[in-house]
Amino acid sequence: MRNFIVTIDGKSYSVGVEEVESGVTPAPVQTAQTASESVKPAAPAAVPEGEKVLSPFPGIIKNLLVENGAKVKKNQPVIVMEAMKMDNDITAPCDGTVTFAVIKGANVETGTVLAVIS
C-alpha cells in the first residue's frame, strides 16, 4: 500500500492506495474524514432583515468579535477574516443589533452575507 496526502479545496486528506493485479476486483475503500469535518458547529438560524455586512473578499472567518444579538456601533469591528495569511477586521456599517449569518471557521466567498445589523 502507498500513502499519499491529497489537498482538495484547502483540506488535506491522507489516502492509502493499494496496488491491484490485473483481472482482480479491488475491495471497496472507505473514505477518511478530516478532524474539521467530523465535528462541525451548528449553523446559525435564518438572518433577519436589516443592513447586510458582506464579505469584501474570499477568506476564512477567524473570529466573531461580539456575541450574536449584541448592540454595535457604526465602524465597530465585529468579525475577523483571514485572507492570504492576513487578519482583516470587518466592521459594522451602522448602529444596531448584530445577527451573524456565518460561524467561526467558515470559508466564505466575495459577497457572502456575514451578518445583518438591524
Q: What is the pLDDT of residue 22?
A: 61
Task: Let me know if residue 82 belongs to a domain.
Answer: yes
Separation between Cα atoms, residue 108 and residue 117, nearest integer Å: 19
| Residues of the chain above pLDDT 90, percent | 55
Listed residue (49, 108, 55) closest to 78, CA to CA: 55
Give, in order, the Cα–Cα distances in Å from 18 to each of 5, 7, 15: 14, 19, 10
User: From CA 15, how far away is CA 77, in angstroms rounded?
Assistant: 41
Residue 20 pLDDT: 65
Instruction: Judge contact between 114 and 55, C-beta under 8 A.
Output: yes
Q: Which of 11-15, 91-95, 108-112 has the lowest mean pLDDT?
A: 11-15
Question: How many C-beta atoms surround the C-beta of residue 79 within 10 A?
Answer: 24
Mean pLDDT of 2-15: 73
Q: Is residue 44 part of a domain?
A: no
Residue 10 lies in a domain: yes
Q: How many domains does the chain have?
A: 2
84 against 16, higher pLDDT: 84
Same domain (yes/no): 34, 56: no
Query: Do the strands 59-64 and 107-108 form a parallel or antiparallel pair, or are they unpaired?
Result: antiparallel
**Residue 3, Cβ neighbours under 10 Å: how many?**
8
Torsion sign across C-alpha atoms 38, 54, 56, 104: negative
Average pLDDT along the chain: 80
Q: Which helix (H) or strand (E) holds 17?
A: strand 11-17
Mean pLDDT of 19-47: 53
- Residue 110 counted as domain residue: yes
Q: Are residues 67 and 111 in the same domain?
A: yes
Q: What is the pLDDT of residues 103-116, one digit of tens each?
A: 999 999 999 999 99
Q: What is the pLDDT of residues 38-64, one digit of tens each?
A: 444 445 545 568 899 999 999 999 999
**Per-residue pLDDT at 7:** 74
Range of the domain at 99: 51-117
